Amino acid sequence: MLGGLGLPYSDILRLRASAADGDEVATTATTTTGTAQNVIMVWLSGGPSTIDMWDLKPDAPDGIKGPFQPIDSSADGIRISDKLPQMAEVMDRSTVIRSLAHSIPAHGPGTVYMNTGNKPSPALQYPSLGALSSRLLPAPAAVPPYVNFSNDRNGGANAGYLGPAFNPFQVQNGNVRGVTLPEDVTLDELNDRVRLLETFDYRLSVLDEVADVVAGIDQFQQKALDILRSNKTRNAFNLDEESPETRQRYGNDGLGQSALAARRLVEAGVRFVTLGTGGWDTHGNNFNSLQNRLLPPIDRSVSALISDLDDRGLLDSTIVYVAGEFGRTPRINGNSGRDHWARSMSVVLAGGGFPGGTAYGTTNAEGMEPDENPCSPEDVSATILAALGVDSTRTLQTRTGRPMQLFREGTAIDALLG
């Protein structure tokens, strides 16, 4: 309810700016030269079977190789699953990383690890890549810098030690949670309530121990108010402005329409958008689930997103990142499924200045572990931020003043940064 939001008092934007300025600790590192401006992250919740998608092993023994066959793509030498024919057409504009590995085959912690680039710790919550982008990259005041389509992803999407001001704006059914107004409240009435609340003298000295949380909430709400006063975000969600052909190209399901909205959001200046689908935890019936339910929407919507961004001249400035929390076992279980496997997995990057038509790294003959150019979630996260022009050795402070390097381990992959 709007009345329960505890809307901020005056000059919160100044407080937010000074809080952000005070977070950073000087470093001797040089600034990167990445030119990307936005990220659209497509999250495959549950752990996609990347051995059946991006890194097939047709010569492996029975019990490891699946029924899908590799097909040629638009990129010389890169073959992917025959169940992803439309993605095969855009591989010349994509990079597949086949040598990613980590050691956390559990959904929650693996999700946090892949989304933050830091191994989960009971002592500290690390910010997601989206929250870091919200904190470190400038964005127009009239749009939320970080939007998440109805998927908290086990807390991996949140701002962690940066505080609630940098949490994502949640989207459900095309509405930004906390940003849209109740039907019976107009903007004029909202402004009256704001002015009324600003006349109160909030005396919170007895709550010094939670002052940072209160300030963070106030900052977040000020952003919400600014967005409410602008039509820019709402216009981005108005998919009726798109031609029927474009909407059909993306698909009329939730994933397709979210992907189209994501493209419109980055056009409006949003820095980081996450969307995706669940159901990838295929312990049983893996191949039927992939072929009939999971792969067709990804094949259609992600390929449409990459092509559409390219057609509009936006692909060089926008990173499309397709990932899940881990891969699945090379060995097929007794239920025609594959179980959790973090020791080898693949992710896909497109746009953002990454070299199209590239396969980085390999796994061994049975897909059990990386063979050439092994890399970690820290490395991939640092690489994405480097493409956005952010040095991964940059240091921020927690709200208690503790200095924190963005990633405790890992370095950007130079071979992918040109």
Half-sphere exposure of 189 (CA within 13 A, CB side): 8
CB burial readout 133-147, b (16+ within 10 A) else e:
bbbbbebeeebbbbb
pLDDT of 205 strictly over 90: no
3-class secondary-structure state, position 101: coil
Question: What integer pLDDT is reported at residue 90 of this predicted model?
Answer: 98
Q: Give the CATH number of domain 2-416.
A: 3.40.720
pLDDT tens for each residue of 254-313: 999 999 999 999 999 999 999 989 999 999 999 999 999 999 999 999 999 999 999 999
Burial of 200 per CB tally in 10 Å (0-12, 13-18, 19+) = exposed
- Phi–psi pair at 93, nearest 5 degrees: -110, 15
Q: Give DSSP secondary structure letters for 228-295.
A: HT-SHHHHHT-GGGS-HHHHHHH-SSHHHHHHHHHHHHHHHT--EEEEEE-----SSSHHHHIIIIIH
Question: What integer pLDDT is reported at residue 222 of this predicted model?
Answer: 62
Find the farthest-apart pair of alpha carbons in the chain and give their distance in angstroms, rounded. 74
Question: What integer pLDDT is reported at residue 193 of this predicted model?
Answer: 45
Question: What integer pLDDT is reported at residue 33 of this predicted model?
Answer: 64
pLDDT of 224 strictly over 90: no
* Cα distance between residue 355 and residue 415, in whole Å: 9
| More confident of the two residues 414 and 234 | 414
Residue owning tokens 């990307």: 36
Joined tokens for residue 375: 């890399």
Listed by start position, the domains of the chain span 2-416
Alpha helices in 71-204 (DSSP H): 85-88, 107-116, 129-136, 187-198
Work out whether strand 94-100 and strand 327-328 pair parallel, antiparallel, or are unpaired.
unpaired
Is 145 within 8 Å of 272 (Cβ atoms)? yes
* Cα distance between residue 278 and residue 299, in whole Å: 15
Q: What's the whole-model pTM score?
A: 0.85
Joined tokens for residue 209: 């121990």
What percentage of the chain reaches a pLDDT higher than 70?
77
Q: How confident is the model at residue 197 (pLDDT cuts 50, 70, 90)?
A: very low
| More confident of the two residues 333 and 215 | 333
| More confident of the two residues 306 and 203 | 306
